[in-house]
Amino acid sequence: MIVVETIIKKMGKVPSIVKEIQLSPKRELDYSYQKNISYSQYTMWKKCPKQWALQYRDGHKIYTPSIHTVFGKALHEAFQHYIKVMYETSAAAADREDILEILKDQLRAHYQDEYKKNKKQHFSSAGELSEFYQDGVEILNYLKKHRGKYFSKRGWHLVGIETPILMPPVKYNPNILFMGYLDIVMYNEKLNKFKIIDIKTSTNGWKLDYVKKDEDKQFQLILYKKYFAEQFGVPIENIDIEFFITRRKVYEEGDFPQKRFQMYSPPSGKIKISRATKAIEEFMSECFTNNKHSTKEMYPNPSKWNCTFCAFKEDTKLCGLGASF
């Protein structure tokens, strides 16, 4: 009780709805009888049912390390740390934090983790790591310089960083739970609005014309919105969503220099929520029977786009159809 009171005292003038979410018990998965799915599972199944079955149902793991994954994790942690200090203490305190050192430490730590998982085989070079670090420095310095434009403190409160959600996607199978972590959740007291922000790292940014046509990419945040509303009892119409894209490389010369950040809020009204819900329900019906993975045959969907980065593309015992791409 003393711990809870101390937390609330530190929160100061935090709205009661934010306190309730922050202090709500963390949901846990009981692996003895429950299974979890994720948005990445859904997208893999949608792209190629065979790949999903090999990896998630049959348990075949072919590890493929990536410097992009390492950088994404490290940047997330430095970026989120800055935002957390900014809202929970002050912008001045956030500026005093050595987020560049955090970035460097996290790059080193995540690279070491990937290196060990990759049987102690290097998958990047010192030069490439240095380049990615310098790109991260530019992104974080841009954040500090332009923080007020992208993260206003006027009326906004930080609800959480990496807020976990754990909800059953279908009522008929309550022991299969959708698991996700929300990068940043904000609340505006005046507007009575929540905002769920998903940070994406990108080399050159997103081509928004294509993203606006890609419902599967949009469905990630739409599903996060739906399950956040259900888990915390928030009216779904009071939740906005936003992809926050960070660019590693920008063209700063010329009359129209690029910005380091892009923001895209996909439409997430009743129609879109219904379409996203039907998509995840289709995945559930195809891949699970009661509380178990379905044993039905899952067929490959070979194409250059699907197979180029597939871990099973050259394994002729498991698939091998992607070797020609």
pLDDT tens track for 192-201: 999 999 999 9
* Mean pLDDT on 140-167: 96
pTM of the model: 0.92
Q: Read off the pLDDT of residues 79-105 as tens digits, 9 standing for 90 and up.
A: 999 999 999 999 999 999 999 999 999
Which residue from 177, 167, 164 is spatially nearest to 288, judged by alpha carbons?
177
Q: How far is the CA of 257 from the CAs of 143, 146, 149, 252, 297, in angstroms?
A: 16, 15, 17, 4, 51
- The two tokens of residue 203 are 């080399």
- Position 4 scores a pLDDT of 41
* Mean pLDDT on 201-212: 94
- Position 240 scores a pLDDT of 98
Which residue from 226, 191, 164 is spatially nearest to 15, judged by alpha carbons?
191
Per-residue confidence band for 10, with pLDDT thresholds at 50, 70 and 90:
very low
* Mean pLDDT on 171-176: 91
Per-residue confidence band for 8, with pLDDT thresholds at 50, 70 and 90:
very low
Checking DSSP bridges between strand 261-264 and strand 156-167, what pairing results, if any?
unpaired
State the average pLDDT for the chain: 92
Q: Which domains does the chain have, with CATH numbers?
A: 12-60+154-325 (3.90.320), 63-153 (no CATH)
Check: CB of residue 34 under 8 Å from CB of residue 179.
no
* Mean pLDDT on 199-223: 95
